[in-house]
Structure 1
Amino acid sequence: MAATGARSSAIMAAGTLVSRVLGFVKALLIATAIGAQTTGDIFQLANQLPNLIYVLVAGGVFNAVLVPQIIKAAKNPDGGADYISRLLSLAVIGLAVLTTVVVLLARPIITLVSTGWTQDQIDFGVTFALWCFPQLFFYGLYTVVGQILNARGAFGAYMWAPALNNVVAIAALLVFIWMFGSNATADHSLGNWTGAQTFWLAGMATVGVAAQALILFIPLKRLRLGLGVKVGWRGIGLSTAARIASWTLATGIIANLSFLFLTKVASSATGAREAVVEATGQAVAGPALLEYSTMLYQLPHGVIGLSIATVLFNRMAHSAGERDHGGMVASLSQGLRVASVATIFCAVALIVYAGPVGMMFSGGEQGAGAVMGQLVTVIALGGPFLTIAFMMGRMFYASEDARTPLVVQVISAIITIALGALVLAVVPPQYTTFYVAGLYVFMNIFSAALYHRALKRWLGDYDVAHIVKTHLRVSLAAVVAGLAGYVLLQLTGGYSIDGFPWRSPLSGMLFSLLGLAVMGIVYLGALKLLRVRELDGLMAPIRARVGR
């Protein structure tokens, strides 16, 4: 099982890494095409909402509940074919109804989540939303089919499919820039925007998400489960899933309401930007730069943490079914220790090279690059805790305890929303995005602390000393690497606006890659000196995959 898990983690990590790299390329092209200020803010908000609404309403149910239920159904004489057919049919119908309602409510939704926007900006957001909101259906379809594949041990396709989404989006953005020019040359704005631009930007973004979902039907067909459309759901055992789903659905709603509210808080920067720029001449960070910063700090979780957690979740579910608490603890400890090797290093690297990284997504504007660098410095602190809280939560879902994650999310969301309301009330709009980034960090740390307390009550000692010692050694190695990176940045003028990293997005990217390589070499050496054995656990499946 260990060898299979290692291979699965490697396949998933490779697919996710490729997808994330392509995602960076897509983000860079979006910043190049429409900039990172008002037009970029409005598009990013409209394009982000379908995924946020999906996670708000159904994502937690699909991600956390389906795998244990499908594993149980696989023990049936038909291998779970009847159960899966009915589950998939129910999901498609439910998603279609939900998507239709959301599209019809596009204007009220955009109006609700924006703060201080003019009527023209709201109209612009609604135009993007009508093209982007159908993504909700395909996000749900991708998750359902992907979880069916995961439960049957076919992990790779689920992690590789987003790469197709990004390829489609990248191709469309290149066409956009070729046909209409970059933002630096054409200054795309509400006043000169056309329907053709909307199609190549927002319409093709939805085509990419659709391709990501539909491609999964190829590996699903190869499983030869004999699936079909079945609409009778009585008496097939969905009552257990529904009971758990009710808790998980409540958890998803509460957790993501806080994110939705923070999105509204950050949008206040868009409405105030024109007045601030006219008065001070300074760039203002809004939803677009916050989205890019969020993507960066979530990278190690998405590539490493999520891949490890997905494989370990199946082990946890099997151990929970056998009432093997020792096996569950071993899986959690291994996941937290191995993932820390990547997440802590990436957090330090982002902090050291925040300026050059911000310049990459600035659209060529040094002011935008500087404010994004400041955002990255704040939000990067929460990266390791994002993975920690996620893995801890999976322990409870694996044992079909959805109530504890709900309690954690309720407490965290209430405090976060209260703090967000305070920010919206007293903080000038041009600074709200930085406070929102800080609240992201707070949510991750606070959730991890609550999960720790719940695990101690449930399992007692879950190998905490071993986990903490590993994190301390990894942190020390990352700090040593960070000092090396800082020296390199000083020597090349990276802390001066006239330095090489600030000349263009390309120079920022080249310098970031150089700095990452230098830090990586120092980091590996420090890990070896500190005898961090978890490095082998992280690298072994990757080496095996490359070797084959």
Structure 2
Amino acid sequence: MTAEAPLMQTGRAMAIATMVSRVTGFVRTMVLVAALGLGTRLLDAYTAANVTPNTIYELVMGGAVASVVVPLLVRTAADDSVDGDLFAQRLLSLVVYGLGVVVIVTVIAAPLIVQVYVPGFTPPERQLAIVFTRFFMPQILFYGVSATLAAVLNARSRFVAPMWAPVANNLIVTATALVFLLIGGTGHLEALTTGQMLLLSIGTSGGVAAQMAVLAVAGRRAGFRLRLHADPRGIGVRAIAVMAGWTIASVAASQAVFIVSTRLASQAGQGAVAIYSNAYTLFQLPYAVIAVTVITGVLPRMSRAAADRDLARITADLSRSLRLTSVAMAPVAAALIVLGPLLTGVLFDHGNAAPAAAHLTGSVLAAYGLALVPFAGYQIMLRVFYALGDTRTPALVSTAVSATTIAASLIVAHLVDGPDLVIALAGCTALAYALGLAVTAQLLRGRLGRVDGHRLLNTHTRTLAAAAIAATGAALITQALSPAFGTGPTGALTIISAATAIGAGLYALTAHLLGLGELKELTSMIRPT
């Protein structure tokens, strides 16, 4: 068995788990849209409140998990003089106590938080968002415990279980939305009863709690005892804080992007916040299935190579990760650009959703498609710095990317208004990540000595050519079939199926003719053994 075989087998299992997780996540999104109504103020209030715990969690801890916690646990596991379980238990205790305080503070500050994020809401919409926000804030603690348990499992080379955990969350929230529909829930904010509001609030936070419970069970099965210590000291809290400090700064910058984007979207018209959020969720699917799978599997390997000061091994892992990710994601990006409005019509044009809102979501998704490959490559490169124990450099780069995004967003806000503004905001993201990718590549080259640049450029050039031919074929098929089948959900699904088949065939054929060996390797990773 080759050295890559275990990684390929684990990668396939992670990809399957992530795909199931994301598919159930889309089902959840579709049911919520059908229940609350895409383009309604009710869904806007729910969406604004529901993303707030995620953003606050990312601000206070989320970025530190990838940059600090996983490499730290890997190095601790390799040190025979340290009790790995005790270290992880004290780390978990620190997370619980710290995030518990954050939950209390944010529940009290909910009115101020809502005002900062969505100043364009009407008074009834703002009041409902405040109520939802207070019910959703405990999710911050649930996310933190889940992320720490997942890091413990990853450090023990248990990558698959954390990928399955979000399925529990998705199933519970989907059931909540279905019950909401069954008891007569509508998309009108004014018609929402107290019982319906409680159902949505408790069911949504209950889903995140279930995700945490799944990881706790998985940790127990992996031999990790879930135990809190009254005194979490003894794990080098100051050193962890110093390492995480730079990451927190970069996450703060990214949250500034979120605040600016959400504030601008809240003033772009009714339903714009949910439209922008749902398009971003769709954009994240291929990144999560492909790039996150690669990152999760390769980060511990890079951390071990960094501990051994084996820069050649790090470069080899980086090159392979970037090439495989690019080959897998380029055709997906092309599909989002060409088929975006049709895809969102099939997904969201149901129930209380407005057809125009579903179409606008697709246009935003198409703009996000331009960011897919640069975003994935940029995120993979940042992980190399984390593996090397350097959180300062990626923090500075991330801050620069965030500043570019904010500047571009504010500029386009003066040039574009109404629904077109949310499309322009997605385009600003694509521009910023392309610049971030270029800068990060140059910095990594200086750190590692080489990044296999000629091979990467060769692979990406051929991949782009194959994706462009595939996109052209898909666009021609779409244009030819649209008059006959229309843009309704059934007709759109037929056009998408035909365009996808032609596009995939052209991509595979062109890749073969251009000698793109990474596609064959990717296929072997997916094919069951």
TM (norm. structure 1) is 0.91
- 1:509 deviation in Å? 4.3
Aligned counterpart, 2:196: 197
Q: How does 1:113-192 map to 2 (within 5 A)?
A: 113-180=117-184, 186=186, 188-192=187-191
- 1:429 deviation in Å? 4.1
- SS of match in other structure, 2:229: coil
* Aligned: 1:492 with 2:472: no
TM (norm. structure 2) is 0.94
- SS of match in other structure, 2:267: helix
Pick from 41, 53, 58 the counterpart of residue 56 of structure 2: 53
* Aligned: 1:69 with 2:72: yes
- 1:381 deviation in Å? 0.3
Q: Deviations over 1:404-441 (max 9, x none)?
A: 01111222222322333344455434432122111221
Higher alpha-carbon deviation: 250-259 or 343-352: 250-259
* Aligned: 1:376 with 2:380: no
Q: Deviations over 1:324-376 (max 9, x none)?
A: 11111111100000001121111101111122112132445332233222212
* Aligned: 1:330 with 2:333: no
Q: Deviations over 1:149-175 (max 9, x none)?
A: 001110011111111111111122222
Aligned counterpart, 1:269: 268
Equivalent residue letter for 2:263 = K
Distance 2:475 2:16 in 1: 29
* Aligned: 1:521 with 2:505: yes
Q: Is the 8 A contact 2:90 2:233 kept in 1?
A: no
Distance 1:28 1:518 in 2: 27
Give the root-mean-square deviation of aligned CA atoms: 2.0
Q: Deviations over 1:113-139 (max 9, x none)?
A: 113222112112112212222211111
Q: How does 1:317-356 map to 2 (within 5 A)?
A: 317-356=303-342
Distance 1:351 1:429 in 2: 21
- 1:45 deviation in Å? 1.3
**Distance verdict in 2 for CA 1:87–1:29, change over 3 Å:** same
**Distance verdict in 2 for CA 1:424–1:120, change over 3 Å:** farther
**Distance verdict in 2 for CA 1:342–1:217, change over 3 Å:** same
Equivalent residue letter for 1:44 = T
Higher alpha-carbon deviation: 92-101 or 427-436: 427-436
- 1:533 deviation in Å? 1.1
Q: Deviations over 1:8-65 (max 9, x none)?
A: 2111111111111111111111221111112222211111111111112210112221
Distance 1:479 1:422 in 2: 30
Q: How does 1:284-433 map to 2 (within 5 A)?
A: 286-359=272-345, 360-363=347-350, 365-425=354-414, 427-433=416-422
Aligned counterpart, 2:102: 98
Aligned counterpart, 2:7: 5
Aligned counterpart, 2:227: 228
Q: Is the 8 A contact 1:67 1:147 kept in 2?
A: yes
Pick from 458, 464, 467 the counterpart of residue 469 of structure 1: 458
Counting matched residue pairs gives 522
- SS of match in other structure, 1:298: helix
Distance 1:421 1:332 in 2: 35
- SS of match in other structure, 1:269: coil
Consecutive unaligned residues of structure 2, counting only runs of 5 or more, are none
Q: Is the 8 A contact 1:55 1:252 kept in 2?
A: yes
Aligned counterpart, 1:277: none
Equivalent residue letter for 2:421 = T
Distance 1:226 1:56 in 2: 28
Equivalent residue letter for 1:117 = F
Equivalent residue letter for 2:45 = I
Distance 2:157 2:12 in 1: 14
Equivalent residue letter for 2:25 = G
Pick from 509, 527, 531 the counterpart of residue 515 of structure 2: 531
Q: Is the 8 A contact 1:366 1:502 kept in 2?
A: no
Consecutive unaligned residues of structure 1, counting only runs of 5 or more, are 274-284
